[in-house]
Structure 1
Amino acid sequence: MSEATTASEKTLMVLEAAMTHERFSEIVTAVHLPKATVHRILTTLVERDFIQVADGGAHVPGPKILSLAGIAYDRVDISTIVQPYIDDLVRRVQCTVHVGVRSGDEIIYLVRTDSDKPYRMPSRVGAAIPMHTSAIGKAILARLDDDAIESFVNRAGLPRRTARSLTTIEDLRAELADIRNDGYGFDREENVPGVVCIGMAVRDHTGHSNYGLSISSLALEHTEGQLAAMSGDLRKTAADITHALGGDR
C-alpha cells in the first residue's frame, strides 16, 4: 500500500470491502491494510451505522448505507447515464441507437439517438413495442428460463406486427437459443416493415437484464450480416452501460 494513500481513500476501501466480504480477516486481505487500521475504520463505520455486525461476527450493510442506496437509486436518471455511451456508439456505427427498458411484457424506448443519415426511424421515446418483435425484447427474453418464456407467451401472446413477426412459441424458442449462443438478437422487419435492428441486453446493479440497446437501420441499407458486423461495438457499449448501472461487465 502506497504511503500516499489518504485516510479518506482507506475509509472508502474498507467500506467497499465490507460490502462484499463478511469476515474481518477477509476485509483485511482485500484492502491490504494493517489490521489495526482496518479495525479502527470499521469501528467508525459501525458507530455511524454504515456497517452492522451481525450474529456470528459477520459485517453487513447498515441502515445508513441502505438508506443512501435507496436515495441514490431514486435519483438515477438512466437516460442521462447512458447518453454519452450511446453518442459514441452512434458515431462509430452511423445508425440510430435505442435504449429500452422492460415494462411488463413490452419494451419502452427511453433513448433514441439518430445519426447524420437523411432519414429517421419511425420510433419515438416513450413508445411501447412487443418484446417478441424487437431486438431488445428478444435479447432480454433470452435471459429467461423456459418456464418464464412459456408464462410470457401465455400471458402476452405473440401478436403479428408484420409478415415477418414470430407467432409461435417454437419459433421464438429457436431464436432465443441463437441469441443465447451469439449474445445478440435481430429484428428482421418484425416490428416495422423495412426496419432492421440488432440488439443486446444490459444488466443493472441487481444483476437482472431489464434494459437493452439496439442499432437500427433500413433493410435496404444494411443486411443482417452487416448488422452482425456491428456486434463488437454493440457489445462494448452494452458492457460500458452495464458497468455504469452498477452491474458486472
Structure 2
Amino acid sequence: MTVEAQALDTSPAPSVGASEKTLRVLEAAIMHDRFTDIVEETGLAKATVHRILATLVEQEFITGDADHGYHPGARFLGIAGRAISRLDISAIAEPIVEALVRDVDCTIHVGVVNGFEMVYVIRKDSSKPYRMASRVGLSMPMHCSGMGKVVLASWEPEQVDRLVAAVGLPARTEQTITDPERLHEELARVRARGYALDLGENERGTVCVSAPIRDHLGRVQYGLSISSIALEHPGSSIEELAPQAIAAADAISRALGSTAVGTR
C-alpha cells in the first residue's frame, strides 16, 4: 500500500450527521430558491445552511447566492440527466404491476404516449382462462382507450383539438366517442375523478379502469389500466377497482421521480 493510500485510509470520514445535513440542504435548494425558504425547510441554523450552500455552489451542485436565489447547478443537472436517461419504465413498473395483478386478478397494462397514440409496454395477465387481445408493442388510439384518456385529460383543450384535426375520432365500436364536444366533456370527468373508464369503447366486450402515471417533471406520459371482460365486470363495475389503479400508478410515478403524485 502506498503512503498516499495510507493517508486516504486514515483520513477522518464525514460524520453521518454532517452528510444528512448536506443532503437536506441540497434537496431544499433544488425545491426552493430563496435562502429563507431553504433554512425553514431544513430546520438548520442559518450559519450551517450558509456554509453548506457555499460548498455546494463551489462543487457546482447548485448555483446562485442568497441575494439572487439558488438553482440546480451543472454538476447536479449532469448527474440527473444521466440517471433519467437510464430509466426503464418496464423494469421500474414491473414489480408494482405484478403486485397489482395478485391483488385484483385482472390483466394489467402500462402504456406510453407515442405521438397521437398509446403503445403497450407492459401486459401482465391474471389467473383467469381468458386473454386480452393486446400485446406489448401494439399501438391504439387515445380517444377510445382508458390509458389514452388519462393522458388526454392532462392536455390543454387546444392540444386535444390538434389531435382531433390530425387523426380524427374513428369509431372502434358503437361505444366509441366520435364527437369532439363529447370527448372534451369526458376528459373533464376524467380530470375531476382522477381516472378514466373504457366500457367497450376500444374493443367489444372488454372494460378497463385507468390511472395516470407521471414522469419526473410531473407530465402524464404513461397510463396504467386494469382490464377485464364485460361478462365478469358488467356495466361500470370495473370502476370499483379505481383506487387500486390510482395507487399503483402513483407508486410508479414516485419511482420515476415525480413529486406531482396526487395531482388530479
Q: TM-score range by the shorter chain?
A: over 0.9
Q: In structure 2, what is the equivalent of residue 235 of structure 1?
A: 246
CA distance in 2, matches of 1:145, 1:57: 33
Q: Deviations over 1:26-47 (max 9, x none)?
A: 2122111122222222121111
Distance 1:44 1:23 in 2: 17
Distance 2:67 2:51 in 1: 20
Identity across matched positions, percent: 48
1:218 aligns with 2:229: yes
1:186 aligns with 2:165: no
Q: Check the 8 A contact 2:62/2:71 in 1, yes or no.
A: yes
Q: Offset of 1:73 from its aligned partner?
A: 0.7
**1:50-129 counterparts in 2 under 5 A?**
50-53=61-64, 56-129=67-140
User: In 1, distance between residues paired with 2:66 and 2:52?
Assistant: 20
The residue type equivalent to 1:199 in the other structure is S
1:181 partner letter: A
Distance 2:190 2:131 in 1: 27
Once the two structures are TM-superposed, the CA of residue 5 in structure 1 deviates from its matched residue by: 5.5
How many residue pairs were aligned? 246
**1:151-189, Cα deviation, whole Å (9 max, x unpaired):** 110111111222322222122122222222222212122
From 248, 253, 256, the counterpart of 1:245: 256
Letter in 1 for 2:36: S
Counterpart secondary structure, 1:212:
strand
Q: Deviations along 1:87-123, whole A, 9 cap, x unmatched?
A: 1211111100111111100001111111111121111
The separation in 2 between residues aligned to 1:23 and 1:160, in whole angstroms, is 52
Aligned-residue offset at 1:243: 1.6
1:171 equivalent in structure 2: 182
User: Contact 2:35–2:66 (CA<8 Å) still a contact in 1?
Assistant: no
Q: Is the Cα–Cα contact under 8 Å of residues 96 and 121 in structure 1 kept in the other structure? A: yes
Unaligned runs of 5+ residues in structure 2 are 1-14
Q: By how many angstroms is 1:54 displaced? A: 5.7
8 Å Cα contact 1:54/1:60 also seen in 2: no
Q: Say whether residues 1:10 and 2:8 are aligned partners.
A: no
Q: Separation in 2 of the partners of 1:177 and 1:43?
A: 47
- The two structures, once aligned, show a CA RMSD in angstroms of 1.7
Letter in 2 for 1:116: S
**Distance in 1, Cα, partners of 2:51 & 2:235:** 59
Alpha carbons of structure 1 residues 103 and 54: separation in structure 2 relative to 1, 3 Å: farther
Secondary structure in 1 matching 2:123: strand
Does the 8 Å CA contact 1:99/1:212 hold for their aligned counterparts? Answer: yes
Q: How many Å separate the matches in 1 of 2:192 and 2:25?
A: 39
Q: 1:204 aligns with which of 202, 208, 215?
A: 215
Stretches of structure 1 lacking an aligned partner (at least 5 in a row): none
Distance 1:147 1:50 in 2: 38
- Say which is worse superposed, 192-201 or 54-63, in terms of deviation: 54-63
Aligned twin of 2:10: none
Q: Give the partner amino acid of 2:195.
A: Y
